[in-house]
Homo-oligomer: A and B are copies of this chain.
Amino acid sequence: MIEKISGGVCAPLGFRANGVHCGIRKNKLKKDLALIVSDVHCAAAGVYTKNLVKGAPILVTKEHIKDGFAQAVIVNSGNANTCNADGREIAEGMCLLAAEKLCLSAEDVLVASTGVIGQPLSLDPMREGMEELCGGLSRTGSSDAADAIMTTDTYRKEVAVSFRLGGKLCKMGAVAKGVGMICPNMATMLCFITTDAVISAEMLQRALAEDVKSSFNMLSVDRDTSTNDTLCILANGLAGNAPVTQMGADFRTFRRALHTVTVALCRMLAADGEGATKLLECRVRGARRQRDARLVAKAVISSDLLKAAMFGADANWGRVLCAVGYSGAEIDVGKVDVAFRTERGYLPVCKGGAGIPFSEEAAKDILSASEIGIEVDLGEGRYGATAWGCDLTYDYVKINGDYRT
């Protein structure tokens, strides 16, 4: 039984967090530096962007996580520390600053940065803010950390769940950010997950790698794979369950808990996509292969034309079919059914690849909901997939027309 609980990354035993404004950003009301720390050493795993242009923090985090252990994560917003000549040195410096204050080895600190690419990042404000950041670490600090990693996000992304492994109560929590440059490939924007479950680094990595295929990799705001995508998980083992070191019932439960957390975040991230007014969820079924189901779902929620139509509450299902057709999936067009489903009603629009009559008035009403389900049945097999996106709006253009200045 997996239950949603409060507390974010601090919900699991033994984790503290904090977020402060240290001065990387000019706006003093916006926090820009976050820290998440476990009381004890953690098994750790991560997945990262596949963009060949990688933020310097990713290179450092990969090195620090190589041994399968970590104990803290330091994250700044306002600057991606990417495409800078001294990027690696700065990222190492961030780990060192946190490690000194926390009496940890710098190799046990992971690091991430998000913001503008190609502008120098100075350690000075972080050095000055470290006292406040570490001094304010608390068991209720998840929201502060979530606030500090936000860029153009309009609300913080936090989630936590409880579950049981062999009778022991375990918890898992997460914070995430990211509303633009989102089309994760093997990972996502920034997301940090904590758990007090006892699980080996190997199984943790396996769980993450499997999970992203049906969570973050099925999410797109603008098909732009970021240079800084980072998803890390820390498991400190304080729940005291029998260690999860192999496949089996406990691993499956852990996977389910993880999936509950990641899907909740995907929905939050898509709904808060830059300029978005609507969450789009494309649910595909009837595919002959898993791959086909995923290709179709991702293509539909990625289509700028469909995204603009959803913004305008226009039931232009031809754009759904068009995206199905160019998705790369092997499908029989003559078997495709399409329907829209929202809290305001259900609207079948296409049967066997051809249009069916519907009331434009009813369609406008149904599509005026803030969350739109696009249901595609390929009519050929037993595989399905779900993908998350958002509508394309004037505000997306506005936000990205002048992001840096």
Contacts and interface: CB of A to CB of B under 8 A. Distances in A.
Interface of A: 50-54, 80, 82-85, 116-119, 180-181, 183, 185, 222-227, 302-305, 308-309, 311-312, 314, 316-319, 321-326, 331, 333, 350, 353-355, 360, 392-394, 396-405
B53 A224 contact: no
Nearest to A332: B52
A316 to B, nearest CB: 6
Contacts of A325: 51-54, 225, 227
The 9 closest A-B pairs by CB, nearest first: A117-B318, A312-B401, A53-B325, A308-B400, A118-B355, A51-B325, A225-B326, A312-B402, A52-B325
B397 A117 contact: no
A80 to B, nearest CB: 7
A336 B296 CA distance: 34
B308 A354 contact: no
A355 B116 CA distance: 12
Contacts of A50: 326
Name which of A226, A305, A316 has the most chain B CB atoms within 10 A of its CB.
A305
B224 A304 contact: yes
Contacts of A360: 405
Nearest to A80: B318
6 contacts: A52-B325, A180-B305, A222-B304, A224-B304, A224-B305, A305-B400
Contacts of A398: 394
Contact of A405 (B85, B314, B405): B314
A65 to B, nearest CB: 22
Contacts of A119: 355
A273 to B, nearest CB: 11
Count of chain copies: 2
Name which of A52, A82, A311, A331 has the most chain B CB atoms within 10 A of its CB.
A52
A84 B355 contact: yes
Nearest to A316: B404
Contact of A304 (B83, B84, B223, B402): B223
A303 B303 CA distance: 13
Contacts of A226: 322
Contacts of A185: 326
A58 to B, nearest CB: 12
B52 A401 contact: no
Contacts of A401: 308-309, 311-312, 314
A250 B309 CA distance: 48
A333 B400 contact: no
A185 B225 CA distance: 22
Contact of A319 (B52, B117, B326): B117
A326 B51 contact: yes
Contacts of A117: 318-319, 321-322
B83 A397 contact: no
A184 to B, nearest CB: 11
A398 to B, nearest CB: 7
Given A224-B303, A325-B52, A397 B403 contact: no
Contacts of A405: 314, 360
Nearest to A224: B305
A184 B244 CA distance: 50
B308 A397 contact: yes
Contacts of A225: 322, 325-326
A117 B336 CA distance: 15
A95 B120 CA distance: 64
A83 B356 CA distance: 10
Name which of A316, A355, A400, A403 has the most chain B CB atoms within 10 A of its CB.
A400
A168 B269 CA distance: 63
Nearest to A53: B325
A176 to B, nearest CB: 19
